[in-house]
Amino acid sequence: MKPFKALIATGLLLGSLSAPAFARVEVSVVIGVPPPVQMVEVVPVARPGYAWVPGYWAWHLDRHIWIRGQWVVERPGYVWVPDRWVQSGPRWQLHRGYWDRPKPGRGHAYGQVKHPRRDQRGRRD
């Protein structure tokens, strides 16, 4: 019985040590250089069950770099709020994109890009 209790105690101890690994970590980028003008991306043909996440300018070392848009697995009942730079005085801060519930009046810039489905020959359904 003693080895069993020791095994349970060890499991609880290890479990409590791994709990902080689930904590949310957020890194904020604040710089004094405004981002370049938004790039124009051609959105590929829609993929069922996926949502298009538009590209954005990221800060890398000492300059902006363009991160291309991509398809991500859709979250039913949610819309994608895109990455964006927000000016605060002379500084610019990158607010990372995230999934959120739809909100009235938010506008079409936020959310999933929906395209009509096409069959194998490229005709619209």
**Through-space distance between the first and last CA atoms of the chain, rounded to whole angstroms:** 67
Sort 110 into a burial class: Cβ within 10 Å, 0-12 / 13-18 / 19+. middle
pLDDT tens per residue, range 4-49: 555 565 555 555 554 444 455 556 678 888 899 988 898 888 889 9
pLDDT tens per residue, range 83-117: 999 998 899 999 999 999 988 766 555 544 444 55
Is the torsion defined by CA of 112, 115, 116, 117 positive or negative?
Answer: negative
Question: Which helix or strand (DSSP H or E) is residue 57 part of?
Answer: strand 56-60
Q: Which two tokens stand for residue 118?
A: 């096409």
